Structure 1
């Protein structure tokens, strides 16, 4: 019998021929030949490989998929963990999948063993009972989640700009968690990669409102175990407007933002920096937090001295010294027992590199809430960091043996081409004090001006206006005057002098009465020393604010974003008089309209558009000088 059985020649067909007892045909035989003698080898053992998990995988949970690929002759596949049999697998379209119960459920419960390294193998068996075992696949069982904590920000930190969120943690397997997902107030803001300094995500704080927020981080280890840290509460210090300020109303919104640690201050004296930022200086400052109605929360406090805001585009960021919860003056006075009240300044581009020069009154507090100005200092700040480089005594003397009222000359500072001009006042000396000191030779009450070249502004010498010329002798100085000869025409603190077209504009309070209303007056001169001409009341005395307020200062500003000579703004300050003191029956009752303790907005700057102010060209034509 000669039958062509060539279909059994390849691969598994040999095994099938042996199984049926048939002989394989000789492909070289011809019809009629006798079949040759053949040697039939034993069938090849089945094979399998572990497809899942992959090598070096970290696995966890109660349903870890175990998947094997086996040769087609395999009739059963089993999985082993080391030498321990886990059970059998069932054939599916996805391969041989481990099932502990015959297909009702799938996957291996990794929680049945301790965390640590293991080796997974599969074993295939064919119908002849032959077996084949796969190469081992190394895995790590990890059912323990990592620890997680927030490293930055620290609790109650005040953050601004782009700040770094930093999360840390540890894992029982001995590796650091490799990813961290951050949330602010429960909303996802992104993931940070992990390294030697923790899991870090830069975060733009301008995306959040000024005030208190909470950050959490969810750390996930290589097995997918995740832990969410305890929340850390912190403050976003900056107030960011929707857009760059377009006018006084936007600046008022920024100055009224009292939820970033800065609760209020007065002043708002500004210097425009070379990079476009604006540095705003303030005086004695309340620090702490306020509720949604601007009521200061327990723990707020007042410190004497300096705070600041840095305006960068649409964002305003407060600057103070000390640390959150224990704020102090931004720039300590070099004179023990005193504080600085900042005046004005400018960027000194003659210095290399350029620096900020700003002048300040040296103030000593006295009993009963009083104070005295005991000196004037010049402060140098580095750019762009705004760190203090130096503090030094300003050149003119602030006291002389026989002159009890030497002008302080740092109420206003005007950088004007080749010269820097310094303005300050000398108050009247009471008659009873003069009678007790017949040797005194007081200077006339009024507003004075000194000048120095740019090179001499910091260390001197200065010159002083005598009414007709400039002198190097301070006691030769005379107060500036109006065109009709009137002197002492500006009262109270906060006067300011600035360029206005080709001339100069002075703003301030015309009388002590204006302390009780928001009125701000303006005077014009063709030269920095006058004579001055009354222009207008550019902030009306009425309507005033409800309650019991004092109003002081008044500076015309035209060189910050949203302002110009054609559309300037005026900033003055408000504060409150005492109220509700048990030993002062005449005090008004304390209300939200007159008590800082009930409304933090009762202390701070007010920004407003001036009225009745002629243009520079109109004033130049009217007062050509």
Structure 2
């Protein structure tokens, strides 16, 4: 995505569609009224020599399917051994020039990666919610994804609305939506809304244990809010807050209960932050469970931060303590930035001592389409095995 509103030129250029102030009726109908969507278009497939972080970092080097670059990679390891990747704001090369496709998917089968988009080779569109998208005016960015109790894949997404005079001048989240993806044929089968479809974005990060699915929230308000270095950027009233709700395992459409700091409660207004906030103005945190530990990765302070923090807790509600500080390196000295780190699943055997992989997104400050706009990947040591559930409860961490 373009990272500073001041650097973006042009206005609404991608569609002549008229976008209503309120979401479409079919999108707000919830689980009971779902809309069938078109078959996924596979733009291209590339195969890497291996799944090392060096190879993963070359994923877009040959511009498969015309993809120049993308950001915000998230992954979901599927029961069949494949891995679903989602990305925000892929730049795709077309006969008329580079264009934003506001979301794409990639299905990884072994070391091969198939690019999933909407539309066709001559007219690519967003993979998710293409008919509800008016490019650069109203669009959908993928959040995290999880397996439902029915064995289907559910990709949580945020509806974004441009309220300014150009793309990413003032981009406001409008609400949370869900797309169901068939893990066998890769088609998007319907759209709906979760029980909490608000713009606090429960589903920003999702992780499950043996009993519960946890929905972490982050407001994702980056463009057009409070001044930073002469540009209107992050909304300081919320971008340092990460809260969490939970539902029974895989029951993604049930109403969550929320962690209040001492217990779980159905009132979302009582939710308390679970990730440390001191000396941070943005916490775009992603969470996984590994070896009985809950691990949070955060590119602190987004574009202006200088390090990735790895934090660890016994329980998803914390308390989280820092176990590693990792400095980041932009791809160029002056014109480049870094942002958003996430956990990349499914790239090894899953054994307890296998290393973990994290991503880091990159771009130019002016947003020019270039090789800079491609994530890099790095290895993180796994945590040591932790005590049993009973032992953790004896220490007071079984809430």
- The 1:535/1:326 distance shift into structure 2, 3 A limit, reads same
Residue 397 of structure 1 and its aligned partner are, at CA, apart by: 4.7
Q: Does 1:457 align with 2:245?
A: no
Partner of 1:159: none
Residue 316 of structure 1 and its aligned partner are, at CA, apart by: 1.4
Q: Does 1:523 align with 2:311?
A: yes
Residue 481 of structure 1 and its aligned partner are, at CA, apart by: 4.7
Aligned residue among 502, 506, 509 for 2:299: 509
Aligned residue among 268, 271, 280 for 2:73: 268
Partner of 1:149: none
Q: Does 1:608 align with 2:370?
A: no
- Whole-angstrom CA distance in 1 between matches of 2:291 and 2:141: 29
Residue 343 of structure 1 and its aligned partner are, at CA, apart by: 1.6
Partner of 1:307: 104
- The 1:558/1:301 distance shift into structure 2, 3 A limit, reads closer
Residue 573 of structure 1 and its aligned partner are, at CA, apart by: 0.8
Per-residue displacement from partner, 1:165-200 (whole Å, max 9, x unpaired)? xxxxxxxxxxxxxxxxxxxxxxxxxxxxxxxxxxxx
- Whole-angstrom CA distance in 2 between matches of 1:325 and 1:568: 38
Partner of 1:417: 210
- The 1:534/1:380 distance shift into structure 2, 3 A limit, reads same
SS at match of 1:616: coil
> Is the 2:67–2:91 contact (alpha carbons within 8 Å) kept by the matching residues of 1?
yes
What's the TM-score, normalizing by structure 1? 0.48
Residue 444 of structure 1 and its aligned partner are, at CA, apart by: 10
Q: Does 1:447 align with 2:254?
A: no
Partner of 1:559: 346
- The 1:542/1:517 distance shift into structure 2, 3 A limit, reads farther
Residue 299 of structure 1 and its aligned partner are, at CA, apart by: 2.9
- The 1:286/1:444 distance shift into structure 2, 3 A limit, reads closer
Q: Does 1:571 align with 2:362?
A: no
Q: Does 1:364 align with 2:364?
A: no
Partner of 1:491: 282
Residue 457 of structure 1 and its aligned partner are, at CA, apart by: 1.7
Aligned residue among 541, 544, 569 for 2:328: 541
- Unpaired stretches in structure 1, ≥5 consecutive residues: 1-234, 290-297, 400-406, 432-441, 580-594
- Whole-angstrom CA distance in 2 between matches of 1:447 and 1:341: 18
SS at match of 1:391: strand
- The 1:413/1:490 distance shift into structure 2, 3 A limit, reads farther
Which moved further from structure 2: 390-399 or 467-476? 390-399
- Whole-angstrom CA distance in 2 between matches of 1:261 and 1:444: 33
Q: Does 1:328 align with 2:137?
A: no
SS at match of 1:284: strand
Per-residue displacement from partner, 1:194-225 (whole Å, max 9, x unpaired)? xxxxxxxxxxxxxxxxxxxxxxxxxxxxxxxx
> Is the 1:456–1:462 contact (alpha carbons within 8 Å) kept by the matching residues of 2?
no
Aligned residue among 358, 369, 383 for 2:183: 383
Q: Does 1:500 align with 2:290?
A: yes
> Is the 2:104–2:115 contact (alpha carbons within 8 Å) kept by the matching residues of 1?
yes
- Whole-angstrom CA distance in 2 between matches of 1:366 and 1:535: 40
- The 1:492/1:335 distance shift into structure 2, 3 A limit, reads farther
Partner of 1:86: none
Aligned residue among 362, 365, 374 for 2:174: 374
- Whole-angstrom CA distance in 2 between matches of 1:424 and 1:488: 20
**Correspondences of 1:193-204 after superposition (within 5 Å):** none
- The 1:566/1:336 distance shift into structure 2, 3 A limit, reads closer
- Whole-angstrom CA distance in 2 between matches of 1:392 and 1:414: 20
Partner of 2:20: none
- Whole-angstrom CA distance in 1 between matches of 2:268 and 2:64: 46
- Whole-angstrom CA distance in 1 between matches of 2:345 and 2:383: 12
> Is the 2:160–2:174 contact (alpha carbons within 8 Å) kept by the matching residues of 1?
yes
SS at match of 1:555: coil
Per-residue displacement from partner, 1:457-505 (whole Å, max 9, x unpaired)? 22x21101111111101112122254xxx56857254x21000211100
Per-residue displacement from partner, 1:496-531 (whole Å, max 9, x unpaired)? 100021110000123x2x524662111111101111
- The 1:543/1:262 distance shift into structure 2, 3 A limit, reads closer
Residue 257 of structure 1 and its aligned partner are, at CA, apart by: 3.0
Partner of 1:241: 48
Q: Does 1:340 align with 2:140?
A: yes
What's the TM-score, normalizing by structure 2? 0.74
Partner of 1:197: none
Larger RCO (CA within 8 A; separation ≥ 6): 2
SS at match of 1:566: coil
SS at match of 2:355: coil
- Whole-angstrom CA distance in 2 between matches of 1:443 and 1:577: 24
SS at match of 1:396: coil
Per-residue displacement from partner, 1:519-560 (whole Å, max 9, x unpaired)? 2111111101111112211x3234763341221111233532
Residue 237 of structure 1 and its aligned partner are, at CA, apart by: 2.4
> Is the 2:331–2:362 contact (alpha carbons within 8 Å) kept by the matching residues of 1?
no
- Structure having the higher Rg: 1
- Whole-angstrom CA distance in 1 between matches of 2:124 and 2:71: 17
Aligned residue among 58, 65, 69 for 1:253: 58
- The 1:446/1:334 distance shift into structure 2, 3 A limit, reads farther
- The 1:542/1:606 distance shift into structure 2, 3 A limit, reads closer
- The 1:532/1:465 distance shift into structure 2, 3 A limit, reads same
- Whole-angstrom CA distance in 2 between matches of 1:446 and 1:236: 37
SS at match of 2:58: helix
